[in-house]
Structure 1
Amino acid sequence: MTNTWLPPEEYVETIARATSYACLYFTDNRGRPVQLKAAYNTETWQWPGGNMDHGETPWECAVRECLEETGIAFEGEKKLLGVQFISRRGHDWPTNHVGFIFDGGTLTDDEIAGIILDPAEHTEFRVQTVREWEGIMTPVNFARLGAVDEARRTGTVAYLEC
């Protein structure tokens, strides 16, 4: 059997595609997650982050989006906490979605007080315990929060599929 090499533009048509996002997971000095409420959906709480721009790495995206969405110019280390694969099988979106969740570390009270939200993207932010977040988040998003929080506490990397 011989392999037939396809030109890149033809080969790409034969493999899975995905859009991608990246974000930073922050907690306060008591270990409570800091999350932002999405302006586009009042049930969605998320971390500073967003979809990657063309040519951008996941890390570059997370840092850029954090600055745009909170005013925080993050300069910490590159530490991956989790990867999320979101299947779009059976949905009206044409590709899967893959996310990279990085550890943003601990924010001081002053850094939290200095968060400046982009009102086009987020309407508020909160700092609560993981248990308190469970009561207001969707089950899928809460599962992501729990897995990422555990990954940070245990020094592991979470892998999620939904």
Structure 2
Amino acid sequence: MSATWLPPEQYAETLMKATAFACLFFTDEDDRPVQLRAVYSQAHPWQWPGGTMDPGERPWDTAVRECREETGMVVEGPTRLLAAVYGLPGAEWPYSTVGFVFDGGRLSADRIAGIVLDPAEHDAVRALSPKEWRAHMPERDFARLRAVLEARRTGVTAYFDAWDWDD
């Protein structure tokens, strides 16, 4: 331990930097995960409604806001955290990533059909079985999907710390 104390603003500059995101995980009535295809990410083509937290915003509020922006759906809760996600920085992004995956519940076929995608972000929505999703996702993304499905099944929040920017 250092004998010299730094003022808070100087100490803060020595700390690791991170960005945070929050998203909502939905399934259809047959418990098949619902995901959106991103137009901007070939590395992570299938995603859940969500995004980066704005300054002063709390994780649940981010997930709800992003879901409304990306799908047109309004979600009110209850708030149930399924997973905490962590990734180390890498060549593509200079900061660590911290994420919160909330349970958005089950969607009826009508509600899924009523999703209005923001074409600047997503161009398709699908509900597939985990086995079917495996063919469409990189291994790391699929491992995260499995962890979130297990968390929903067991009621035990998942900790997924393999979301690094470099493989």
Do they superpose with TM above 0.5? Answer: yes
- Unpaired runs of 5+ in structure 2? 163-167
Structure 2 partner of 1:85: 86
Distance 1:139 1:63 in 2: 27
Tell me what 1:108 maps to.
Answer: 108
Return the letter of the residue paired with 2:101: I
**1:76 Cα deviation from its structure 2 partner:** 1.6
Q: 1:146 is paired with a residue of what secondary structure?
A: helix
Partner of 2:149: 149
Q: How does 1:9-48 map to 2 (within 5 A)?
A: 9-42=9-42, 44-48=45-49
Q: Distance in 2 between matches of 1:50 and 1:6?
A: 34
Give the 3 Å change call, closer, same or farther, for CA 24–2 of structure 1 in structure 2.
closer
Amino acid at match of 1:15: L
Secondary structure of the 1:21 match is strand
Q: Encode CA deviations 1:55-99: one digit per residue, 9 max, x unaligned.
A: 0001000000000000000012110000110111x4242210111
- Offset at 1:3? 4.7
How far apart in 2 are the matches of 1:70 and 1:92?
A: 27
Say which is worse superposed, 2-11 or 38-47, in terms of deviation: 2-11
| One-letter amino acid of the structure 2 residue matched with residue 99 of structure 1 | G
Distance change (3 Å), C-alpha of 1:2 and 1:66 = closer
Give me the whole-angstrom Cα distance separating, in 1, the residues matched to 2:149 and 2:92: 31
Matched, 1:54 2:55: yes
CA–CA separation in structure 2 for the residues paired with 1:76 and 1:41 = 28
Letter in 2 for 1:49: G
Q: Which AA in structure 2 matches 1:80?
A: L
- Following TM superposition, the consecutive aligned residue runs of length 4 or more in structure 1 with deviations greater than 6 angstroms are none
Aligned with 1:112: secondary structure?
helix
C-alpha displacement at 1:114, in angstroms?
A: 0.4
Secondary structure in 1 aligned to 2:55?
coil
Q: Which amino acid is 2:70 matched to?
A: E
Unaligned runs of 5+ residues in structure 1 are none
> How high is the sequence identity, in percent, across the aligned residues?
56
Q: Give the RMSD, CA atoms, in angstroms.
A: 1.4
SS of corresponding position for 1:124? strand
Q: Secondary structure at the match of 1:84?
A: strand
Shift of 1:107: 0.7
